[in-house]
């Protein structure tokens, strides 16, 4: 069940009604059942994985509470993390590691046929809920979160349907207490949630899916595409993935608000970043902070010598790349971002944390924003390509004399460029707000409702109702 | 267990807010059903069977032509079937008279493998008695895909009208709304869908414009007929000439005749013979300019010449007739008898069929007898109402 389907709207209406007539005790249980139904709609067989993951971390929390012996605590944490990572590793990375191992031996002239790849279906959203569940055990181990004895609340925290399959990856410190507290329906918050959902739907259905059609077509025939086509497709992909993923996050956050929950912010207008450090503070925030808190800082963070610092940065980016998928293209994508990040991070440049705050960006900031975007665009080629060879081919083709032959105005999809222009304008003027439609209640009713209807009709008239799934589901 | 007042207020407001959107959507879905874009294919076929000759069918938004044609073929079980590309689609039931049931399966199978695969898909209790196959020279180049499994893949394509598949409804509503905003008068056409050539019931937006499949599976080029009524001398071959010169669409640069496809054709003919099916092969005409271009173009002429010399031999070896009308002038016609560079008009198709029926190989076939076909065709061709682009039948 995807957010952009009537099934979801029916499901949401039923769950909303039932949820608000129940009291707290049953609300959590009902949310667990609803979330399992939501997830089982894709493939009920993988419900057990989610249940195992949640049970492992719940039990780890209880065991960690019972002992102050640090060796035992480490053992408990290691066991919990291992169990989660084994599940994740098997379902997501087994074939990748086997084929990479075989290829590696093959290049050394050692044939290796005894290991075979398996036809494993990747469970939707496994990386999201596994990371969310694991963060609880780590936080309990660090004593930053009190372990819960309420299994239902904990299971609801791990499987909460709005953010279950594509985040934001929540922390127990933020979300779990909300499951333990009484929720009060707040009219204004619910309206705010609907507004955020509406903006998310617009980004997904009108922008991401329309751009996705072009991207699919051109990236599906890379070797038959011209330099301009590949450039346009890569440019479109940058906005497709942004609108797809941030659109999902908006719908998730808005949906959670209907039930009285506040989820963390996942995107903060990343393409307005003036450098790569800023970009990573604004893109997929829940994942980058997860890696910062649970990988980077435990490795020593920046409080080590240069070489260890470089190791820490590159490790985090490469692991973050692999998190996205079992392919060397994701490794390359992560490594490229690590390479962008490191020089700026070690520099003493005082501008590295400065944002473009003026209404109309200065030439200097505009130049920085465009340069940062181009760096990100370069890396997206690796993210989208089928393999490294294809990515190199695409970049070679784009940066070639083929670009001198302008294909004509219609070949650059002017209507889609206009939609991107509208998005950039809307986001630029609202970049101090969480999303552009926030705070509309201050407008006269006629404008407010006019705008709502305009967006709904834009979704209806210009939306792409094909079957493109949310990109981040596969991760 | 009750809902708080603030929740009921919220729900009521959301409901009222969405109500106009829901009403507009429901109205558009109704229009989609009315105009036939959301009418299930089985329902279209059954409606046509109940009202033979009164409909024209072609959806614009949700096209599933192959599935429609195949279902119709199985429902009609005709004695005479024609296969080939869109170039054979002007051959009509009327041309064979009323004593025999004909179906134009043009578009279902164009390649030798496709002919065979179609035969294999037919139920055991049904075989056509005669199959006319229109062959196109460009299908026999080495670069052309053999089309293996294409028909089956089409049949197994996503069913637009599968239960719980909501996307077609949203998509059709969206496209119809865009169409109505662009031309509000269309709303009335959607409510009373009639095609403009013969005033038949139009099923589908394309049919509403006069383009679509008639009861017998043949195609009506309503747009071309309407423009020819305004300008009878208009000829349009530039597009096809451009394709040939640039090597695009059907006319990719291809000099080599594909002997594998020739073998596929032999296999099909042998299979047909074993099933007692009489096969008539023919090459539909090109416009004079296109014909000339195919004979001189260095990147097409070899394939065209090989096709014209080798294919008749294959038919002769199988003891089936083959007629080559590639050169329109063999029928004594000019380019006004072509819709474009490679689609003959129905009048040209009548001349072509008449020419075949008069040949000794077909003359004595009881299903293709002179009374019901040639005389009838003669009358239609010579009728005052007949034009190069549109034939006038007595029962029209």
Helix (H) or strand (E) holding B278: strand B278-283
* Active-site annotation holder among A284, A324, A337, A367: A324
Pick the residue from chain B with its C-alpha nearest to A14.
B11
Helix (H) or strand (E) holding A251: helix A227-258
Angle between helices A328-346 and A363-384 (to 10 degrees): 150
- Say what the pLDDT of residue A303 is: 84
- Say what the pLDDT of residue B371 is: 57
Chain A residues near residue B9 by CB distance under 8 angstroms: 187
Alpha helices (runs of H) in B138-166, residue ranges in sequence order: 150-155
> Considering CB atoms only, which of A5, A20, A456 is closest to B7?
A20
Per-residue pLDDT of A246-281, as tens digits, reads: 999 999 999 999 999 999 999 999 999 999 999 999
Q: Choosing among B2, B165, B168, B174, which should be mutated to test the A contact, i.e. which has the most A CBs within 10 A?
A: B174
Given a cut of 70, the residues of chain B with pLDDT beneath it are 1-2, 157-159, 163, 369-373, 375, 393-396
> Considering CB atoms only, which of A17, A185, A460 is closest to B6?
A185
Chain B residues near residue A194 by CB distance under 8 angstroms: 14
- Say what the pLDDT of residue A165 is: 81
Burial B303-341 (b: 16+ CB within 10 A, else e): bbebbbeebbebbeebebbbbbbbbbeebebebbbbbbb
Per-residue pLDDT of A335-355, as tens digits, reads: 999 999 988 887 766 566 666
* CA A9 – CA A2 distance, rounded (Å): 10
Q: How are beta strands B219-221 and B80-83 bridged, if at all?
A: unpaired
The DSSP secondary-structure symbol of B325 reads -
- Say what the pLDDT of residue A2 is: 81
**Tokens (6 digits) for A298:** 């435990």
Q: Choosing among B5, B7, B168, which should be mutated to test the A contact, i.e. which has the most A CBs within 10 A?
A: B7
Per-residue pLDDT of B160-218, as tens digits, reads: 777 677 888 888 899 899 889 989 998 999 999 999 999 999 999 999 999 999 999 99
Helix%, strand%, coil% for chain B, nearest 5:
50, 10, 40
- Torsion sign (Cα): A443, A444, A447, A451: positive
Our CA angle for A186, A190, A193, nearest 5°, is 145
Query: Are B17 and A463 an interchain contact pair (Cβ–Cβ within 8 Å)?
Result: no
Q: Is A447 exposed, middle or buried (0-12, 13-18, 19+ CB in 10 A)?
A: exposed
pLDDT in tens, chain A (475 residues): 788 888 899 999 999 999 999 887 799 999 999 999 999 988 888 888 889 999 999 999 999 999 988 999 999 999 999 999 998 888 877 777 777 777 777 777 776 666 666 666 777 788 888 999 999 999 999 999 999 999 999 999 999 999 888 879 999 999 999 999 989 899 999 999 999 999 999 999 999 999 999 999 999 888 878 889 999 999 999 999 999 999 999 999 999 999 999 999 999 999 999 999 999 999 999 999 999 999 999 998 888 888 898 899 999 999 999 888 888 999 999 999 999 998 888 776 656 666 667 777 888 888 999 999 999 999 999 999 999 999 999 999 899 887 887 777 777 888 899 999 999 999 998 888 889 998 888 889 899 999 999 999 999 888 887 655 555 555 5
Contacts of A154 (CB under 8 A, 6+ apart): A54, A57, A58, A61, A136, A148, A176, A179
Contacts of B81 (CB under 8 A, 6+ apart): B73, B102, B103, B105, B128, B130, B131, B132
Nearest CA of chain A to the CA of B179: how many Å?
11
Nearest CA of chain B to the CA of A12: how many Å?
12
For B367, the 3-state DSSP assignment is helix
Q: Three-state SS across A9-45?
A: HHHHHHHHHHHHHCCHHHHHHHHHHHHHHHHHHHHHH
Nearest CA of chain A to the CA of B17: how many Å?
9
Q: How are beta strands B130-134 and B80-83 bridged, if at all?
A: parallel
Residues for chain A: how many in total?
475
Query: Are A20 and B10 an interchain contact pair (Cβ–Cβ within 8 Å)?
Result: no
* CA B321 – CA B280 distance, rounded (Å): 5
Helix (H) or strand (E) holding B281: strand B278-283
> Considering CB atoms only, which of B2, B3, B174 is closest to A460?
B174
> What is the separation, in whole angstroms, between the first and last Cα of chain A?
16
A173 closest CA partner among A125, A141, A135: A135
- Say what the pLDDT of residue A370 is: 94
Query: Are B174 and A17 an interchain contact pair (Cβ–Cβ within 8 Å)?
Result: no
In total, the C-beta contacts within 8 angstroms joining chain A to chain B are 44
* CA B302 – CA B313 distance, rounded (Å): 17
Phi/psi of residue B267, each to 5°? -60, -45
- Say what the pLDDT of residue B97 is: 82
Nearest CA of chain B to the CA of A430: how many Å?
25
Q: Is A121 exposed, middle or buried (0-12, 13-18, 19+ CB in 10 A)?
A: exposed
Question: CB contact, 8 Å: B274 with chain A?
Answer: no
Query: Are B177 and A185 an interchain contact pair (Cβ–Cβ within 8 Å)?
Result: no
Per-residue pLDDT of B219-254, as tens digits, reads: 999 988 888 888 888 777 888 998 898 887 789 888
* CA B287 – CA B351 distance, rounded (Å): 15
- Say what the pLDDT of residue B171 is: 87
> Considering CB atoms only, which of B1, B164, B174 is closest to A461?
B174
- Say what the pLDDT of residue B396 is: 45
* CA B302 – CA B307 distance, rounded (Å): 8
* CA B127 – CA B119 distance, rounded (Å): 8
Question: Could you tell me which residues are beta bridge partners of residue B338?
Answer: B344
Active site residue A337: no
Phi/psi of residue B286, each to 5°? -110, 160
Chain A residues near residue B177 by CB distance under 8 angstroms: 460-461
- Say what the pLDDT of residue A338 is: 94
| Distance set, CA A113 to CA A97, A119, A252, B74 (Å) | 14, 17, 45, 50
pTM: 0.77
Q: How are beta strands B211-213 and B219-221 bridged, if at all?
A: antiparallel
């Amino acid at each position: 069940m995807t957010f952009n389907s009537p099934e979801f709207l029916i499901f949401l209406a039923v769950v909303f009604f039932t949820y608000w007539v129940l009291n707290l005790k049953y609300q959590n249980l009902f949310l667990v059942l609803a979330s399992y139904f939501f997830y089982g709609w894709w493939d009920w067989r993988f419900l057990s994985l989610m249940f195992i993951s949640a049970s492992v971390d719940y039990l780890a929390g209880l065991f960690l509470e019972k002992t102050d012996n640090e060796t035992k605590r480490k053992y408990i944490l290691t066991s919990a993390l291992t169990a989660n990572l084994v599940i994740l590793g098997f379902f997501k990375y087994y074939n990748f590691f086997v084929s990479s191992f075989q290829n590696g031996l093959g290049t050394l002239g050692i044939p290796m046929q005894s290991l075979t790849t398996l036809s494993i279906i990747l469970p939707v959203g496994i990386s999201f809920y596994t990371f969310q569940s694991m963060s609880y055990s780590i936080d309990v181990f660090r004593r930053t979160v009190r372990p819960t004895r309420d299994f239902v609340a904990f299971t609801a925290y791990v499987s909460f349907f709005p953010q279950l399959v594509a985040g934001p990856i929540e922390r127990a410190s933020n979300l779990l207490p909300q499951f333990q507290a009484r929720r009060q329906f707040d009219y204004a918050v619910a309206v705010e949630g609907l507004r955020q959902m509406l903006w998310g739907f617009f980004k997904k259905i009108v922008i991401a899916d329309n751009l996705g059609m072009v991207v699919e077509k051109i990236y599906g025939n890379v070797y038959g595409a011209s330099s301009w086509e590949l450039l346009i497709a890569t440019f479109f992909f940058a906005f497709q993935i942004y609108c797809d993923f941030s659109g999902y996050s908006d719908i998730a956050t808005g949906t959670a608000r209907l039930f009285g929950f506040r989820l963390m912010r996942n995107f903060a207008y990343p393409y307005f970043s003036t450098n790569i450090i800023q970009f990573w503070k604004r893109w997929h925030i829940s994942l980058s902070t997860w890696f910062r808190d649970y990988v980077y800082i435990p490795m020593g963070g920046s409080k080590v010598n240069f070489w260890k610092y470089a190791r820490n940065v590159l490790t985090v980016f490469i692991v973050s790349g692999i998190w996205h998928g079992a392919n060397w293209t994701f490794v390359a994508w992560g490594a490229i971002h690590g390479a962008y990040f490191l020089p700026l991070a070690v520099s003493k440049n005082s501008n590295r944390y400065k944002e473009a705050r003026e209404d109309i960006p200065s030439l200097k900031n505009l130049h920085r924003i465009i340069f940062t975007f181009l760096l990100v665009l370069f890396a997206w080629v690796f993210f989208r390509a089928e393999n490294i060879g294809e990515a190199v081919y695409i970049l070679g083709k784009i940066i070639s004399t083929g670009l001198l032959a302008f294909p004509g105005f219609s070949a650059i999809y002017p209507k889609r460029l206009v939609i991107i222009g509208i998005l950039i304008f809307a986001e630029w003027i609202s970049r101090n707000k969480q999303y552009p439609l926030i705070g509309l209640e201050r407008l006269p009713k006629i404008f407010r409702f006019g705008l709502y209807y305009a967006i709904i009709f834009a979704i209806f008239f210009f939306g792409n109702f094909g079957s493109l799934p949310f990109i981040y589901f596969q991760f | 267990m009750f809902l708080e007042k603030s929740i009921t207020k919220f729900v009521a407001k959301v409901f009222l807010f969405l109500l106009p959107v829901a009403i507009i959507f429901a109205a558009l879905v109704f229009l989609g059903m009315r105009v036939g874009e959301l009418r299930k294919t089985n329902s279209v076929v059954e409606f046509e069977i109940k009202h033979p000759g009164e409909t024209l069918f072609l959806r614009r938004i949700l096209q599933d032509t192959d599935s429609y044609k195949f279902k119709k073929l199985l429902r009609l079980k005709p004695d005479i079937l024609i296969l080939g590309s869109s170039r054979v689609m002007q051959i009509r039931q009327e041309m064979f008279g009323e004593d025999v049931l004909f179906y134009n399966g043009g578009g279902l199978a164009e390649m030798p493998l496709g002919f065979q695969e179609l035969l294999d898909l037919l139920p055991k209790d049904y075989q056509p008695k005669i199959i006319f196959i229109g062959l196109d020279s460009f299908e026999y180049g080495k670069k052309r895909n053999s089309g293996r499994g294409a028909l089956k893949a089409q049949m197994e394509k996503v069913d637009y009208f599968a239960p719980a598949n909501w996307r077609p409804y949203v998509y059709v509503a969206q496209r119809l709304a865009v169409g109505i905003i662009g031309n509000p008068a269309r709303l009335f056409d959607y409510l009373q869908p009639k095609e403009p050539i013969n005033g038949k019931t139009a099923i589908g937006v394309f049919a509403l414009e006069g383009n679509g499949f008639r009861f017998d599976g043949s195609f009506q080029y309503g747009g071309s007929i309407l423009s020819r009524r305004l300008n009878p001398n208009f000829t349009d071959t530039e597009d096809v000439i451009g394709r040939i010169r640039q090597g695009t669409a059907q006319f990719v640069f291809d000099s080599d005749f594909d002997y594998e496809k020739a073998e596929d054709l032999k296999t099909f003919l042998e299979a047909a013979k074993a099933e007692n099916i009489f096969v008539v092969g023919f090459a539909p005409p090109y416009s004079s300019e296109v014909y000339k271009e195919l004979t001189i173009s260095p990147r097409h002429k070899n394939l065209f010449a090989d096709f014209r010399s080798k294919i008749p031999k294959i038919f002769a070896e199988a003891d089936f007739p083959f007629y080559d009308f590639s050169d329109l002038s063999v029928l004594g016609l000019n380019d006004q008898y072509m819709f474009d560079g490679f689609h003959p008009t129905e009048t040209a198709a009548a001349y072509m069929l008449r020419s075949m029926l008069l040949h000794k190989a077909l003359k004595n076939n009881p299903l293709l007898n002179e009374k019901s076909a040639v005389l009838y065709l003669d009358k239609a061709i010579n009728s005052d109402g007949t034009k190069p682009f549109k034939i006038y039948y007595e029962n029209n």
